[in-house]
Structure 1
Amino acid sequence: MPSHAPRLSTVQCLSPAGLHQMAYAEWGDPENPRVLVCAHGLTRCGRDFDALANAMANDYRVVCPDVVGRGQSSWLSHPGGYVVPQYVADMVTLIARLGVASVDWLGTSMGGLIGMGLAGLPDTPIRNLLLNDIGPHIEAPALERIGQFVGIPKRFASISEGADYIWSISTGFGPHTREEWIALSEPLLKADGGGYVLRYDPSIGAAFSTAPPEAIVAGEAMLWAALAAFAGRTLIVRGEQSDLLSRTTVEQMLAHAQHARAVEIPGVGHAPTFVHADQIEIARRFFEGYAD
């Protein structure tokens, strides 16, 4: 497989507090009308998808944004802006920049919530939607687990030490070689005062401690409605050992969605990384329209 170097760009987006920059990496022919947007999880960044993008760049223009507050993107001045509606608005701006009428979407965890939010809008630009270990309902133990590490300040003496810490909170990603894990971890770390820190705004975790129960219920209802409204094809990918997306929720999603099927990846929890060939093939077959 040939190796493709990404092009790195930014796009200016608007929030109620003002303007901010969203960074994105792009692979493949910039004139290719077949665009695949890959959106990452809560504390991750767009470079999570380097392996997938390399594998699909001959057929797709693959675009992997750093959601605001993460990676190379700006931090918001108000923590209340770190919510799905803002992320959806930013993605609409990104797609307008790309100059295409429609995109395919692969969303891991939070990236899948963004995808659902956008897919449920009238005249959505999303054509096919892959939801990677995420649904409208998130299991409470997973939220508690995530809340234990999001926004907690950490400092590391080296990239290797940082990678070890990230692995300690990410074992659900499943088996990876050390080389693969360093590649997944290095973009999440930035040099700071002789050491390294995590490359995200600690305020992204504010929603875990400040969202009232009624807001959580309303947000889930909105996502169920969005999933039901989407007329395109949906693939629900679940890690067999996931503590975030239950099999019961998957069954409910299949009943709500108009055109959906599901696949479970053995030996993985939350969430499959789409680094390995078998997982990449799941995405390729879905987006290219194969019936399994």
Structure 2
Amino acid sequence: MQPSQKSVRYLLADGFHDMAYTAWGEPDRTPVVCVHGLTRQGRDFDRLATALADDFYVICPDLPGRGLSDWLSGPALYQPLTYVTALGALLATLPPAVHWVGTSLGGICGMILAAQSKTPLTKLVLNDVGPFIPAAAIARIRDYMQPAPVLPDQAALETLLRVVHASFGVPDDAGWAEMAEYSGRSLPDGNVTLHYDPAIAEAFRAQEPADVDLRMFWEKIVIPTFTIRGALSDLLLEETLLEMEQAGSQSLTLPDVGHAPALMDGKTISAIRGFLAEN
């Protein structure tokens, strides 16, 4: 199955921008919006999207500054409000009943949107993120978000990803190759670097790591939720998952995986599909 490439336009203080997205399946089916983590892009969901596309219309955006989406005019614009604004413009083009799969930052955006009055979200899958994020995890992410390296070729890019994202639990060599295919951008001199705007890392590194409490949003969410946690995760703590389960969230913990699960293995894909298909 071949996806289609589309985009949606949204407005910020510095003008209009285009957010690219990959769409799988038939538009007349229930939409599933899949949103990636901080330094990733929408093609991370290719395997999940392929598995869901027989029953759903799967939409995988590149958040602003990532992948094929427009870069913004400065580091200060790379913040959750910007992402929610862009995603809100996307949601406005869809029917008013949308399922959501969000990895890390994508899950934070999902919680914010699900907490709003008249939200179009009907089901929420949170991949290794919850209503509390410890400062130590944010510090670790900040440490690896150094200035983007310049690499000689795609093979070197894949080698870097295998090190930086070893905790993702990518299940096979083909998965790493798929991740690397969309994770780089070519430079004028023929070298390769990472696909995102370096200003994203600049904005993230400018903030002193601190605990993030999102309970103000979590407590307003009334739609069904399903939380996936990597058993070795430092971002979604075991006690936070327990808090989410006590509030009614279904859950799945993946052994030998950290932050954030790649959502590429058959067991996890089957669990997500089962949750989204429930009446």
TM over 0.5: yes
Partner of 2:196: 200
1:144 and 2:139 are equivalent in the alignment: yes
* Unmatched runs of 5 consecutive residues or more in structure 1: none
2:48 is aligned, of 33, 37, 52, to 52
Over aligned residues, Cα RMSD in angstroms? 1.6
Match of 2:207 in 1: 211
Aligned equivalent of 1:18, options 15, 18, 22? 15
Tell me, yes or no, if the aligned pair for 2:170 and 2:262 is still in contact at 8 Å.
no
Residue aligned with 1:270, SS: coil
Question: Are the counterparts in 2 of residues 151 and 203 from structure 1 also a CA contact under 8 Å?
Answer: no
The answer to whether structure 1 residue 178 and structure 2 residue 173 are counterparts is: yes
2:27 aligns to what SS in structure 1?
Answer: coil
Pair 1:86 & 2:88 matched: no
Determine helix, strand or coil for the equivalent of 2:219.
Answer: helix
- Closer, same or farther in 2 for the Cα pair 1:168/1:143, shift >3 Å? same
Match of 1:64 among 55, 60, 64: 60
**2:170–2:264 Cα contact (<8 Å) kept:** no
Deviation of residue 51 (structure 1)? 0.5
Change (3 A) 1:151 1:15: farther
CA shift for structure 1 position 20:
0.8
* Corresponding position of 1:37: 33
2:236 matched to 1:236?
no
In structure 2, give the amino acid aligned to 1:185: A
Give 4+ residue runs of structure 1 displaced > 4 Å after superposition: none
Q: Which amino acid aligns with 1:251?
A: L
Q: Does the 8 Å CA contact 2:184/2:195 hold for their aligned counterparts?
A: yes
Q: What is the identity, as a one-letter code, of the residue corresponding to 2:23?
A: E
AA in 2 matched with 1:24: Y
Please tell me the residue identity of whatever aligns with 2:277. Answer: E
AA in 1 matched with 2:156: E
* Residue pair 1:84, 1:117 contacting (<8 A) in 2 also: no
Instruction: State the match for 1:272 in structure 2.
Output: 261
Residue 187 of structure 1 deviates from its aligned partner by: 0.4
**Letter of the aligned partner of 1:238 in structure 2?**
R
- Give the 3-state SS of the residue equivalent to 1:267 in structure 2: coil
Q: Counterparts in 2 of 1:71-150, with a 5 A limit?
A: 71-98=67-94, 100-150=95-145
Identity of aligned residues (%): 37
CA contact 1:115–1:129 (8 Å) conserved in 2: yes
CA contact (8 A) 2:170 2:176 kept: no
Q: Greater shift after overlay, 167-176 or 280-289?
A: 167-176
The answer as to whether partners of 2:132 and 2:240 remain within 8 angstroms in 1 is yes
| Post-superposition CA distance 1:268-289 (Å, at most 9, x none) | 1111111111110110111111
**What does the per-residue CA deviation read over 1:189-226, in whole Å, with 9 as the maximum and x for residues that have no partner?**
0111211111101111234333367xx66xx44x2121
Q: TM-score w.r.t. structure 2 length?
A: 0.95
CA distance in 1, matches of 2:225, 2:216: 14
1:265–1:7 distance in 2 versus 1, CA, 3 Å: same
CA distance in 1 between counterparts of 2:185 and 2:84 reads 26
